[in-house]
Amino acid sequence: MPTTTNYAFDTDTASTPVGPHEFELELSDRWNTMGGTANGGYLIAICLQALRAELPHPDVLSASAHYLRPGTNGPARIRTDLARIGRRTATGQAILTRDDREIIRVLATFTDLSKATGQTVVRNTPPELPAPDDCVNPLRGITPSPATIAERVEFRMPQIPGYWRGTPGGTSAAEFWMRFADGRNADPLALALLVDAAMPVVFDLGVPGSSTIELTVHIRRRPAPGWLACRVTTNYLIDGFHEEDFEIWDSTGTLVAQSRQLALIP
């Protein structure tokens, strides 16, 4: 008999309905950051999984998340509220709580990307990267604890940037390959996690950390299987706050996701 692979992303973002518009789950410790708290992309994906169960359209199109407290591992609940269900799009809100304290609030719109048609203009190009096999793994030989997310997502880079070696180089842009380490191919909902899965490029300016305040992600297409080419930039660090712009292009050279987040340097 064929076997079903239990991918970490699907297992750890799944929640159980416990009442009308209410779900519960365990926040996994498999997606933690260097600070020992849950990654922001993981938290938004949890909320989007719950919303998708209640909306008629299969693909997240746009989501905006505000982070109110760090997400710690353990029992959590999600409350959803459906704002509007239309023919092409549907919109709802999800609130994730832990110990009765609000962690993240997400407003998202879903659609069916397989039915999306219309005028298309793309004025940028995918990152020009060597093949993944010709790039380097920045985590080779490094024990990622407590950043367990590094065991879930793998990267390939043309060269290792300074901040990975502990010697920041003063840049604030990077291009690299990314994919789930367990072989799961990305889908629109997974892209909402992956836009926040890499080390912030602002680290190459020598800052000690970065905490997300708000994250908005736009999903443009369903991605093709394979490695994802990524481009990330930070142009403004002002009074301890910085933006981060992220692009994901699939293995066919198609733009599949964009995001912008506002973050705080501790």
pLDDT at 227 over 90: yes
Average pLDDT over residues 195-205: 95
Which top CATH class is 8-113+132-264? mainly beta
Split at pLDDT 50, 70, 90, the class of 143 is: low
Structure tokens at 110: 């879903």
pLDDT at 185 over 70: yes
Split at pLDDT 50, 70, 90, the class of 4 is: low
pLDDT at 160 over 80: yes
Start-to-end C-alpha separation, the chain: 52
Structure tokens at 200: 């912030």
What residue ranges in the chain does DSSP mark as E strands? Answer: 16-19, 22-27, 59-67, 74-85, 90-98, 101-111, 153-156, 173-180, 211-219, 228-233, 237-238, 241-249, 255-264
pLDDT in tens, 63-105: 999 999 999 999 999 999 999 999 999 999 999 999 999 999 9
Q: pTM of the predicted model, to two decimals?
A: 0.95
- Residue 224: what pLDDT? 98
Give the span between the Cα atoms of 178 and 6, in whole angstroms.
20
92 within 8 A of 52, measured Cβ to Cβ:
no
Domain spans, the chain: 8-113+132-264
Work out whether the CA dihedral 191, 232, 31, 83 comes out positive or negative: negative
Give the torsion through C-alpha atoms of 143, 147, 149, 150, to 10 deg.
-30
Give the residue carrying structure tokens 């066919």. 252
pLDDT in tens, 35-48: 899 999 999 999 99
Structure tokens at 244: 């981060």
